[in-house]
Amino acid sequence: MKLNIIRSAERGYFDHDWLKTHHTYSFAEYYNPERMGFGKLRVFNDDFVAPGYGFGSHPHKNMEIISIPLHGSINHKDNFGHNDIIAPGEIQLMSAGTGIYHSEFNASDSDSLNFLQIWIIPDKMEIRPSYGKKSFGKESLKNSFRLIASPYNIQDSLFINQDTYIYLADIEDGYKVEFTLNNPRNGVFLFVIGGKARIGESILGDRDSAEITGTENIKLYAEQDCSLLFIEVPV
């Protein structure tokens, strides 16, 4: 198993007053030739948006875009008529395909918004754009991997146009869990939303991430209660 750890403090960081953002991979003003993505995972941003602010209408094309609110809610609008609120406990997935315009704003005028935005390079280009949202209960994450996106809509997951599987998990202190890849040729991007976890001899803390390749099974131990995001993706 090969493990490449990216510490929270090693990410690109920009403070735009209304937006404080951390970039794991090169994005916008942040450019690092050694961080251009992980296989088909191209963008992983950890965004904090001030009350009442957000991203005005802008285009996307040929990209799978996943938004996961961790605190606060996202007000989404697009040119296909979707006008939606995405709250914690929900995930949004758009296949931009031939092209889509959308906006994302903090839905609150008083509370901050923190959400993860993930871009996956699709398997097929120029497809018809699509939009989906799913809710998942916190209990379904307890000491298990809750599948939230997959290429086959399995386990009531959202469809993603790539051989990619996205999971969330809440692991209690002291628990050992094992993750088995759906495709042994894929790799796994692991992000610690909060808490502390150990893989082998390596300990990952809040907002640390790891790129994992060369194995079909990942054994993880919770050093303390931890919330995790797994992205199995072609590498």
Query: Are the C-beta atoms of residues 100 and 78 closer than 8 Å to each other?
Result: yes
Q: Report the pLDDT value the prediction gives residue 154, as an integer from 0 to 100.
A: 85
| Tens digits of residue pLDDT in 202-219 | 999 999 999 999 999 999
Query: Are the C-beta atoms of residues 48 and 19 closer than 8 Å to each other?
Result: yes
Element (H, E) at 212: strand 209-213
Q: Report the pLDDT value the prediction gives residue 139, as an integer from 0 to 100.
A: 87
User: What CA–CA distance (Å, rounded) separates 149 from 161?
Assistant: 10
Query: Are the C-beta atoms of residues 189 and 231 closer than 8 Å to each other?
Result: yes
Q: What is the pLDDT along the chain (235 residues), one digit of tens a residue?
A: 999 999 999 999 999 999 999 999 999 999 999 999 999 999 999 999 999 999 999 999 999 999 999 999 999 999 999 999 999 999 999 999 999 999 999 999 999 999 999 999 999 999 999 999 999 888 889 999 999 999 987 888 999 999 999 999 999 999 999 999 999 999 999 999 999 999 999 999 999 999 999 999 999 999 999 999 999 999 9
3-state helix, strand, coil in the chain (%, to 5): 5, 60, 35
DSSP output for 144-175 = S-EEEEETT-GGGPEE-SSS-EEEEEEE-TT-
Cα torsion through 11, 15, 19, 21, rounded to 10: 0
Q: Report the pLDDT value the prediction gives residue 152, as an integer from 0 to 100.
A: 87
Query: Are the C-beta atoms of residues 149 and 168 closer than 8 Å to each other?
Result: no
User: What CA–CA distance (Å, rounded) separates 183 from 216?
Assistant: 8
Determine the 3-state secondary structure of 141 from DSSP.
helix
Q: Which amino acid is present at 192?
A: V
